[in-house]
Chain A
Amino acid sequence: MNLKLVLRVIGRVLMLEAAALVLPMVVALLYGESAVPFALTICILLAAGLLMSAIPSAPHFYSREGFIAVGLIWLLVSLTGALPFYFSGEFPSFVDCLFESASGFTTTGATILADIESHSRGILFWRAFTHWMGGMGVLVLATAVVPSLGIRSHYLTQAETPGPVFSKLVPKQSQTSKILYSIYCALTLIEVACLRLAGMPLYDSFIHAFSSAGTGGFSNRNASVGAYGSVAIDLIITVFILLFSLNFAVYFLILTKKFKDALCSDELRFFVGVVTLSTLLIAFNISPLYANIWESLRYAVFQVASIISTTGFATADYVLWPHFAQTILILLMFCGACAGSTGGGMKCSRVLILFRSIRREIHRIVHPRSVEVVKLDGKVVEESTLQSITIFVGAYLLVILGATLVVSLDNFSFAVSFSAALTCVSNVGPGLELIGPTGNFLAFSQLSKLILSLCMIIGRLEIFPILILFSRHAWQRV
């Protein structure tokens, strides 16, 4: 493996992170808070980044370097992203800072903070901004703005972009990344404007726009979005988190006036179907708790959108809802958003292809000699892709089960341990009971917090870029 190249790329990304930290530092200064935590982190990042990116190396990426670099970069970015929290002294321990930072970059939104509103504005801004960077991807950003990361740098973005198949919008990777980030920025700014018009303070608008753009879930209010009690704000956020959980290729197709291709995707229809069906089921199920059907619909659709997009905002404490509604939400956590979006979970296209493979398997049992291909959007899905999807789903479940086992050492109920593992791997945020929308992860042991942080990164990178780091073969020179 070409370790020098990997280190050089890591160096460049750390410098990029240093540049990103300027923004919360400015916010802190604007509100008259101390900029020291940010300045200190920037110095450390710049020093490490300059040192690493000066390493000379051959510029050729191969699959191995790409995957290892992505895995290491996400671990390091989470680690260094925790430094401002640590230097601010507002967090109980470094592990808590790490958990918060990993939860931010992976757009999980799980927090260990009990009283969010007591924290300084610069820190809360950085917390939300990590969502925004992690949502579209740190390396996608790097390929868009850092020139000459290396030859075949698409291995980097490939490992970071969620979904069963990787495809570009235009031939050049750097161009693709630029288009993605332009769409991303534009949508975020539109959301800020909408929220501001709906009466949310400007600072809060930015925090919530960053959070929903990355489908993260950090809010600067203890009661999350519910604190505003405004139908308009609920609606705006519902629409935007759903928009951010669609494949960004859809927006590119719309921009290039290929409306038919954009709206006829199987995954999009599946996503819309799942959202509609879950909303109706939950609305009926929770209707006894609310005054009328409109009110229960309002809370149901927000919660469904928030969970399937793996954002994790809350307007109501769903822990108090009937178990049927809670179970639907848990199932939505598995499913997750669309491929190529900023959301987490297993991704709708994988679930859809899995269903179709199962149907084919049944056909095969009935007609043992039948030959049938699985299609998505009218195109044949390769057998190798089908196989990797099956393996992915298996690995996904194994990671969740393994994490549940470790977390259960803390002696919480099975619902808490399992939902903690699931919500972290799927990058959602809230779980059941203790860690519901109004709860937090403070009560877990240090070990559980570390494991859950790792789970978030494993889930964000779709498992293999992190698992490969534990493989002996990846590190061998030959």
Chain B
Amino acid sequence: MKIVIVGNGKVGFSLAEQLVREEHDITVVDVREDSLRRASDMLDIMVVRGNGVSAATLREAGADTADILVAATNSDEVNMVCCLTAKNQGTKYTIARIRNPEYTTSLAELRRNLKIDMVINPENATAVEISRLLRFPSAANIETFCRGRVELVGFRLQEEDFLVGRPIHTLSSQIKKLSLLFCAVERDDNVIIPNGSFVPQAGDKLYMVGRPVSLDQFFRVLGRYAPKVHSVFIVGGGKISLYLAQILDKMGMNLKIVEQNEARCRFISEHLPRAMILCGDGTDQELLDSERLTASDAFVALTDRDEDNLIISLYASQKGLSKVVTKSNRQNYNGIARSIGLDSILSPKQITASHILQVVRGMQNSQGSVMNALYRIADGAAEAMEFTVSTSTKHLGVPLKELKLVPGILIAVIVRGQEIIIPEGSSSLQANDNVIIISRGNGILDLNDIYAKAAPAASENGGRA
């Protein structure tokens, strides 16, 4: 597809990087020559220098024939005008990044008037993501499918866990009853789709899917069940903090927010009367201790600087907080952060990029089965997708054991009406089912892509517990 990205910042670049890998024709527009040069050196894309609000620049970038335009400059207003101009020139679908909270209240009207097809607010999306993690503190990551009826969680195995060192199929019947599936394992830099004989090791990050209740029970059996979070300590009072605090406040959690800028503190206090706002340096351990950091159930580091976030998160986890969430935009720190025990690391840029990616994939696949959700797990090395099975899907009603799937693909869950099925060899797909697919690498756009070209044979069986 022809995609124009306006604004070659953090989000623009990582989006371009991802879309180039999926063989789309990408044109990037920006005013800064040096950032364009870097992009065109690193990626197989075309670059156009100019301001995204100029009709001539957009035409030069091919907005008149583009399928999608993503406006991701640092100015909301530029993004809006850019989408409007592009739409009038003939772009089929426009996506604008709008982050100013003032606009969020009148978003529906704005979208209608400016003909923007999708609005993405990275800060809000990140806040929603964090709030979900805090609702389920046992997991390092959590993604939801089928409106929350199925969840995918990731957690890191520790030396003393009983799972370590024995094949999955030998697990006790107590676990087997729970109807959940180990669907992916992140070990060092690799992703493994486990089967029954897979032997987990300490340090592996296991991903499993199942009903939220089953997952809860599993963590209880594992002895890792973290109680519900009642109080949260947030460092940094930026946009994400504000959105997050508003969500958590509604959930009835107690909040402490540390922010350095006094004017900003007043502003937050105005919007969040029930939260405790502390004016001070969040990296100052003295302040954290005196405010009884350890008494909180969870800690969230949301300052502007990735390095500060990592360091204070490390401090908090050393102090024994069971749930620590860190914001870090730089992906190259993730490996280091994991090695020092920080697991819940979120990057607004990644979250934004994967939201947009989901739209692009969906559009590309408008004829086939509908992709309802797409999550990238294990640093983007694997993907979890939810599809609705349509009548055009092949091999309906054929038992899975007779199907030959592409290597690295796992059918994790089938949701049929009220039923949630962890598939076995005898299960089969039927029209109107929702299925959750785990894929190592990427490139699955349609449900039919999971079938190998060769004749049907035994399917890959997941690591059933």
Interface residue ranges, A against B (CB under 8 Å)? 63, 152-155, 167-168, 170-173, 175, 379, 382
Contacts and interface: CB of A to CB of B under 8 A. Distances in A.
Contacts of A171: 25-27, 44-46
Nearest to B3: A171
B360 to A, nearest CB: 15
25 contacts: A63-B41, A152-B41, A152-B42, A152-B43, A152-B44, A153-B44, A154-B40, A154-B44, A155-B41, A167-B46, A168-B46, A170-B25, A170-B46, A171-B25, A171-B26, A171-B27, A171-B44, A171-B45, A171-B46, A172-B25, A172-B44, A173-B44, A175-B25, A379-B49, A382-B33
A3 B25 CA distance: 30
Interface in B44-81: 44-46, 49
Given A63-B41, A170-B46, A382-B33, 14 more contacts: A152-B41, A152-B42, A152-B43, A154-B40, A154-B44, A167-B46, A171-B25, A171-B26, A171-B45, A172-B25, A172-B44, A173-B44, A175-B25, A379-B49
Contacts of B46: 167-168, 170-171
Interface residues of B, number: 12
By Cβ-Cβ distance, the 9 closest A-B pairs, closest first, are A171-B46, A171-B25, A168-B46, A171-B45, A171-B26, A173-B44, A171-B27, A382-B33, A172-B44
Contacts of A155: 41
B47 to A, nearest CB: 8
A446 to B, nearest CB: 41
Contacts of B41: 63, 152, 155
A450 to B, nearest CB: 35
A170 B42 CA distance: 16
Contacts, number: 25
B380 to A, nearest CB: 16
Contacts of A173: 44
A167 B48 CA distance: 10
A171 B48 CA distance: 11
B262 to A, nearest CB: 41
A198 to B, nearest CB: 40
Nearest to A60: B42
Contacts of B26: 171
A167 B27 CA distance: 12
B178 to A, nearest CB: 43
B428 to A, nearest CB: 37
A63 B26 CA distance: 21
Nearest to B28: A171
Contacts of A172: 25, 44
Contacts of B45: 171
A469 to B, nearest CB: 21
Q: Which of B26, B41, B49 has the most CB of A within 10 A?
A: B41
A382 B34 CA distance: 10
Nearest to B43: A152
A382 B31 CA distance: 13
B376 to A, nearest CB: 20
Contacts of A63: 41
A388 to B, nearest CB: 12
Q: Which of B25, B43, B44 has the most CB of A within 10 A?
A: B44
A167 B40 CA distance: 9
A155 B41 CA distance: 8
Contacts of B33: 382
Nearest to A175: B25
Nearest to A66: B41
Contacts of B43: 152
A175 B44 CA distance: 11
